[in-house]
Amino acid sequence: MKTVTGLFDSYADAQTAVSQLKSAGVDSDDISIVSNNSDNAHRLDDDNDAAEGAGTGAGLGALVGGAGGLLTGLGIMAIPGVGPVVAAGWLAATLAGAATGAVVGGAAGGLIGALTDSGVSEDDAHVYAEGVRRGGTLVTARVEDHEIARAEAILASSPRVDVAQRRNAYTERGWKSFDPALDPYTPAQVNEERARYGSSSRL
């Protein structure tokens, strides 16, 4: 299996890409989505606020509606340095424990590690993690070799972020790599980042 990946400034664009991947025959079990939720656009169905665990990581909690059946298991968790995210699929399972939802240590390292283990370069993995930290949405799909071209074509035709350009934009402002020890971006900072790259809303 190979991994194709797209970082999106808009959650709606990421949703569209996921839907297109599914329509092209990519199994839901092989698609993941991880999206910044600092603005609480997606709410938990109980009082277990994932944001409270943002410093150390938190297990997945079920979402209130709104998921639209995009992927099974869509829930909220927190990643050190990123803060609260909505996540689903194999990448979410890696971060939060596949069947039990148990917290795993070093969730941020798990995000980068899961990507690099599946073939994403470490440099790109750091940009993807930083992109989610700054308000983006990451879509990953594990596909067979014969499906790579079709999956890449789907993502290439979508408004996904050009990773090289985004890396340059980050480094021009002093960024070196994703650092899980940093505080997550505030909603105001996330909105500023989205405005900088032309996305004022995830929905």
Q: Are 155 and 3 in contact (CB under 8 A)?
A: no
- 168 pLDDT more than 60: yes
**pLDDT per position as a tens digit, 88-109:** 888 877 776 533 344 444 444 5
**pLDDT per position as a tens digit, 12-53:** 899 899 999 998 988 888 898 999 988 877 665 544 443 333
* Full-model pTM: 0.80
What is the spatial distance between Cα 138 and Cα 154, in angstroms, rounded to a whole number? 15
**pLDDT per position as a tens digit, 64-75:** 333 344 454 567
Q: Are 54 and 40 in contact (CB under 8 A)?
A: no
Q: Are 67 and 74 in contact (CB under 8 A)?
A: yes
Average pLDDT for the chain: 77
Closest CA to 70 of 109, 12, 122, 125: 12
- 200 pLDDT more than 60: no
- 194 pLDDT more than 90: no
Spell out the domain ranges in the chain: 2-196
**pLDDT per position as a tens digit, 118-164:** 888 999 999 999 999 999 999 999 998 888 999 999 998 989 999 99
pLDDT score at 50: 36
Structure tokens that stand for 137 in this block: 């949405």
Neighbours of 68 (CB within 10 A): 9
If you write DSSP's letter for every residue of 85-148 in order, what string do you get?
EEEESHHHHHHH-TTT----S-HHHHHHHHHHHTT--HHHHHHHHHHHHTT-EEEEEEE-GGGH
pLDDT score at 173: 92
Instruction: Output Rg (C-alpha) for the chain, integer angstroms.
Output: 15
- 54 pLDDT more than 60: no
pLDDT score at 43: 63
Burial of residue 25 (CB within 10 Å: 0-12, 13-18, 19+) is exposed
DSSP state of 169: H
pLDDT band at 180 (very low <50, low <70, confident <90, very high): confident
